[in-house]
Structure 1
């Protein structure tokens, strides 16, 4: 862990700092603006919590490395303002987001240990411009969980295993968490849940924001593709990649979205961007009244109930309670299954890959990852390594595959089956099978899926349990907003666990983030379902 110097300033009362450990980012901003705390004392407070709970105590391992220059943004008098709304606010970045400073950008890979970037990613530039303190890089599932089949969420060969703060001591015989921290933005989520930063930035291709947010009791926005620039983010698949905020409240997520959503000539997808002037406008408690909310679960069509039909009993009970809350808030609930053509996927959209993961329960069977992911992975990763990476001899995906093979004892605990399959592609996206798969993804998830469903039932949003609806919205490039829904216990395979969070997702059409945030806010205000993890006492 990188060491930062102590500032030696007079600290505010301990009670003030402790109140901010799990407080919304908006409260942190108010305390900074009102001079009740200094930016340096705040940064040091989070660093102390990282030392106590991430490196010691439960050893959550959510922070891969600290920024040695973090305190440079905490000068005396640093306070938020209209021009710099995040001045002095400590933010963690997922370690696939480039910074042009001394911090490496590694995607959790031993092959990229020490690799740096030629410049800040665009989202880092806008965060710095808004005054944010970049506290460090968060651990993640290596290469956004596209290295190996059945790699545990939150594991990377460079950073190790992230633990879920709601059950950090519950590990199996292989040292893998029984209660997953979610992937691949696991470290980003755990750090916010454990009170190690004011907020964080993660990324998603399909579920990597929603899944960890659900399991850690957080709010996140998986934006429309193109709302937030991807320039300088180590990629998985550009058709679906996006960054997004991880926060404790809906208002915090909206505040961060105000900063992050900006057009960027380096990312052509942002040129189609549509956004309001202020995502926090209209966050009112009665926003649910009259909203038509689709619940893709028709009791008369059980074979087509892929989102609710196989929920564990406790999760199903919680979702029934969530739907009752929405009805009490004045929402019109429309129960109708998603069209099968929308979620089942089209022909040629997946590829058969043999699972050689030595620790997988499915070793020797055939996995079927998305064709789009494997083909875009090689193309996009090679471009990042060419255009952004510095201080490394790794220049191509083939170099990573070779490095991993040469250092298998440390780099390949779970294999690299996805990388091996991806490296067999041409890398220029010229193959007809890739083009067909991408067209089929759009046809199924967008045209025959979300669009058909929302058009037919005149919906404002679709309600999904946890991250169950991540894939259909991600393939379509559509937004999702996650908000804490309550608590459940136990795993799908019958293991006992302490209570842990389950989130609910409101998904909608492109550029509908503002509407989804308003709906999520109304639900949040009615339920106040978030509860910080126990076992993290005051310092």
Structure 2
């Protein structure tokens, strides 16, 4: 909670990378996001725009960049490690999660949602040669992409709409925090993500909290049955 600072945007260097805010002029999203960038400036943030992330197209292409090779094996290993270390949990492994979902298929909406990724991950037997090669390739692209960009421009964060940069952040093991930004014409909410390098969580919380408090963009959802 010590990072919940109302002046959390002041003095922060925030990058606005190309390839994300591609909304047509005069659309709600285009107008609102421009207003938010101006708000950040007024709150003392230093915005650096028109930045190019090297390898962005490849990093975003998770069907062909190797992410789908590395993800299942890493997911199983990481999830099993996490669950086994909890002080209490009704499930202790990915296999037990799959079994739980099967036993509660109605509540878990298994027919509609299914669990394809879970099943694919459970069928892996560790990080094989193809997965290790994919991890090395992705790590290199991340290091020469967003990580390099942030270090060269001494950025505290980059901002992107919604969860559009989630794959880019995840590949590099980097944190991101999303906050409400506005609502489209049909009332559908959209957000803004602050992403940074590993260990940048404190400053991301500062920025996200300050942004959230100054904009008050969230509205309680009103869904009709």
TM class, shorter-length:
0.7 to 0.9
Cα distance, 1:379 vs structure 2: 3.5
Q: Which residue of 1 aligns with 2:34?
A: 320
Bigger Rg over Cα: 1
1:531 to 213, 219, 222: 219
Q: How many residues align?
A: 217
CA-to-aligned-CA distance 1:410-464 (integer Å, 9 cap, x gap)? 7444544334433442x222x111111222222222x122221112322221111
Alpha-carbon distance change, 518 to 370 in structure 1, aligned in 2, over 3 angstroms: same
Matched, 1:279 2:7: no
Q: Which runs of 5+ in 1 are unaligned?
A: 1-254, 256-277, 298-304, 353-367, 490-496
TM-score, normalised by the number of residues in structure 1: 0.35
Match of 2:70 in 1: 372
- CA RMSD for the aligned pairs? 3.8
Structure 2: which 5+ runs fail to align? none
Q: Which residue does the alignment assign to 2:22? A: 309
Contact (CA 8 Å) 1:351, 1:371: kept in 2 or not?
no
- Structure 1 residue 477: deviation in Å? 1.9
Q: Distance in 2 between matches of 1:502 and 1:399?
A: 31
Matches within 5 A, 1:44-55: none
- Tell me if structure 2 keeps the 8 A contact 1:463–1:507: yes
Query: Larger relative CO (CA 8 A, sep 6+): 1 or 2?
Result: 2
Residue in 2 that maps onto 1:487 = 183
Give 3-state SS (helix, strand or coil) of 2:189's partner. strand
**Aligned match of 2:16:** 295
Report which of the two has the higher share of helix. Answer: 2
The equivalent residue for 2:48 is: 334
Q: Is the 8 A contact 1:343 1:449 kept in 2?
A: no
Aligned residue among 495, 500, 503 for 2:188: 500
C-alpha separation in 1, matches of 2:193 and 2:63? 25
User: Does structure 1 retain, via aligned residues, the 8 Å contact 2:67–2:134?
Assistant: no
Separation in 1, partners of 2:72, 2:95: 12
Q: 1:422 aligns with which of 98, 118, 121?
A: 121
TM-score by length of 2: 0.75
Specify whether residues 326 and 387 from structure 1 end up closer, same or farther in structure 2 by C-alpha distance, changes over 3 A only: closer
Contact 2:16 2:49 survives alignment (8 Å)? yes
Can you list the C-alpha shifts for 1:232-263, whole angstroms capped at 9, x where unaligned? Answer: xxxxxxxxxxxxxxxxxxxxxxx2xxxxxxxx
Per-residue deviation, residues 496-524 of structure 1 (Å, max 9, x unmatched): x3x13322122112222222222223323
- Structure 2 residue aligned with 1:471: 167
